[in-house]
Amino acid sequence: MKHTDVLITGFVKSPALALQSLKPLTELQREGVIRDIHYVTWDSPELDPWLAPVAAVPGVQLTCVPQPDAKGTPAQRGVVYQVENLKAALAQLADEDGLVFKTRLDFVADTDFLRRKITGFETHCAPVSRTAPNGVVMPAPLQGNRIWIPWADSNHPFSSKTRRSWVPAAISKSW
């Protein structure tokens, strides 16, 4: 089994919720199912009261990075913040070939569910054969590494409502 690291982004204003979401992760870390837990958020004095309880949790590595100067509509700024936060979180990983579980502090997972998902990831999420029926060769996967983001709405940026608001004009014209 490959090493599994956890990346946590965002923050919540509820210490109880933050601690509850970290509990199954730290349990799995003690069991050796998870190697490192990285929590990456913005370096801002306004966030310090909500970060303090998380910083006190053994096994959680807190990294605060400068908030980007994002311009545009709230949706555009939100995309920039999320992308830059994830980029900073990915930079924390020691092993580029390991598995990554990306989550947030407002997501509380069942410990047994996470254990089964992580330990069975290689089997449950194994890439399909590159050779399809009738000898057709499938293209290589778009991502070289695997990252699991539960309940991610991967097509949200491409919905008709938001597409034109953040996609550069040269790209949106081709749609």
* Span 55-96, pLDDT tens digits: 999 999 999 999 899 999 998 888 888 888 888 998 988 877
Taking only the tens place, the pLDDT of each residue in 4-54 is 999 999 888 899 999 999 999 999 999 999 999 999 999 989 989 989 999
Q: Which CATH class is domain 4-126+137-170?
A: alpha beta
How far lies 65's CA from each of 2, 79, 87, in Å? 28, 17, 11
**Whole-structure pTM over 0.85, yes or no?**
no
